[in-house]
Structure 1
Amino acid sequence: MPQIAGLTSQYIQVKRETTNNVTYGGDQGFFKEVSGSAEDERKRRLGCGIVAFCDLLLYLAEINPVYQIQEIKNHSDRILTESEYKACFNFVYGFLGGLPEKRNKGLSGFKLSRKFNRMAVAENWKLKAVWGWSGRKLFQRITRMLDQDIPVILCIPMMLFKKDKGKGAAFYKKEGKTYYRACTVSEHYVVVTEVFEENESIYLGISSWGEKYYVNWKEYEKLIHAHFLGTILGNILYIK
């Protein structure tokens, strides 16, 4: 399984309270039965972008002390409890402006880029983010970020037209060298942690819902070019 690009350190891990299983990244499902409040329900349903942003900050803090902001510096480079992860999530939730009740929508990629740049300036990081729009540059940018040991926030695009409802990106699980489709997903943020080639196909290794999945790159590339605004809605938070 030749790796094309990938993160060099252990990705974010959280021990689930109910099973003691260790996750691969954060999971907005931690808010499933916290308080039963409408706000916690929004976090569970719409919080994938906040999870992705939170995981990005935790990983950056893990690899370089320069990126250890006060609110999360004690939460990096170890297995977190659900409570510890939710504290990080809630900090990021507040920083990003929350999830307004009336909109019933998650966060836009453009907002993620603005907020990241605000934090980078405040913390004197030599990093800058833009939300991508080019499908032609997407693969190169993903591998470039991973080569720099930066997790890649990728948005699986929403399907804007009724005729496309139910379509999306196939998420695969793996048994041995065999990949099987686990689900089909749209309008959802994930974090890309590696790119590799296997069985004459290129795959993105991703974190979503605290699990590791795989996305076939050619299938994803076809998806974003086949749907209206797909290369914008299905792009990445490009950090350089």
Structure 2
Amino acid sequence: MPFINNITIELSKSDYVPVIKDSAISYGGNQMWFSKDNWYSKDSILHNYGCGTIATADMFLYLALHNHRFRNPETEIALAGTNKIEYKNYDAYVRSINDRYTNTKRVIAVLGPKLANAINTYCDVHSYNFRAYWKLKLSYYDMYDMIEEMLRRDIPVILSIGPNTPNLWGKKGIPFYERCEIDYVETDSQKMDGMKPYYYKAVKQNVNGHYIMVTGIIKDDVTGQIMLRISSWGKQYYINYEEYRDYIENASGTFTSSLVYVKPTSVL
């Protein structure tokens, strides 16, 4: 039962990309908002395979929310001259990003190299000094270093939990966790330090074939556990970095379970 004795590296905006829908505020977008009723429609494709498009669209929005020079006519579809993101505007914005850049396909969705290319095309169109790369064969430490570097630059990280390999339809995956605080009687020193005990509760099992957005790293000095705070399906979850890397080694692979590395081409 760890206390707050952690090293935390995270995005500067704690609410990430808050979308207001039905009086609730999400933690990023959700592909499930698109209807799956008409199998032949773009909405059905986005519902089933749109996680990469959501992650890409949210990355552009996160940057626009924090720096006006990253606002443009496309992000204004969602922001509408404000810092609030209403669902109806977000819906139109994601459709625009999909049509212009990611072009989500049935079954294959958006492959990692295509995501990087979509980000580069977007940056070229708007003259932003970023370059994106789909990284192959990343080691445990190289991947961690890239995630940390991007978060320190205040750039969300698109991370892939790839399919099983070579059995692409296999069911193995990793759990998603929620962080739950434990009710207890605080001592005066704990109140002063803001320390509260917590645990991670698995709420989803065997997630694979899915893009998520990493918004923070929590490294506990006592347990040595590394948790990644993520956005997925409009909610905040956590994944265990060790479990993710074990999944890559034993059931997936570094070609499909990887990340989009984004870095500036010059000093910002």
Using the size of structure 2 for normalisation, the TM-score is 0.81
**Deviation above 4 Å: which 4+ runs of structure 1?**
33-37
Contact 1:203–1:215 (8 Å) recurs in 2: yes
CA distance 1:182–1:66, shift in 2 (3 Å): same
**Which residue of structure 1 aligns with residue 46 of structure 2?**
43
Shift of 1:97: 4.8
Q: How does 1:130-149 map to 2 (within 5 A)?
A: 130-136=133-139, 137-149=142-154
Percent of matched pairs sharing the same residue: 28
Q: Is the 8 A contact 1:16 1:82 kept in 2?
A: yes
2:34 partner amino acid: F
Given that residues 77 and 89 in structure 2 are in contact (C-alpha distance below 8 angstroms), is that contact kept between their aligned partners in structure 1?
no
1:113 aligned to which of 98, 111, 116? 116
Tell which structure's C-alpha radius of gyration is larger.
2
CA contact (8 A) 1:206 1:215 kept: yes
Residues 149-192 of structure 1 show CA distances to partners (whole Å, capped at 9, x for unaligned) of 00000111111334982111211112111111111210101100
- CA distance change for structure 1 residues 164 and 42 in 2, over 3 Å: closer, same or farther? closer
Matches of 2:246 and 2:165, distance apart in 1: 16
Q: What RMSD in Å do the two structures reach over aligned CA positions?
A: 2.1
Distance verdict in 2 for CA 1:209–1:5, change over 3 Å: same
- AA of the residue aligned to 1:189: Y
Structure-1-length-normalised TM-score: 0.90
Q: Distance in 1 between matches of 2:177 and 2:76?
A: 33
Residue identity opposite 2:31 in structure 1: Q
Q: Structure 1 residue 23: deviation in Å?
A: 0.6
Question: Which residue of structure 2 aligns with residue 86 of structure 1?
Answer: 91
**How many residues end up aligned between the 2 structures?**
235
What is the CA–CA distance in structure 2 between the aligned matches of 1:204 and 1:97, rounded to whole Å? 25
**In structure 2, what is the Cα distance between the partners aligned to 1:202 and 1:25?**
22
Structure 2's unaligned 5+ residue stretches are 182-197, 264-268
Q: Deviations over 1:23-47 (max 9, x none)?
A: 1000011113687863211111111
After superposition, the Cα gap between the structure-2 partners of 1:231 and 1:97, relative to the gap in structure 1 and judged at 3 Å, is closer
In structure 2, relative to structure 1, the CA distance for the partners of 1:125 and 1:180 (3 Å cut) is same
> Match of 1:178, SS?
strand
Counterpart in 1 of 2:259? 236
| Residue 203 (structure 1) shift | 0.3
Segments of 5+ residues of structure 1 without an aligned counterpart are: none
Which one of 216, 224, 243 corresponds to residue 219 of structure 1?
243
- SS of alignment partner, residue 231 of structure 1: coil
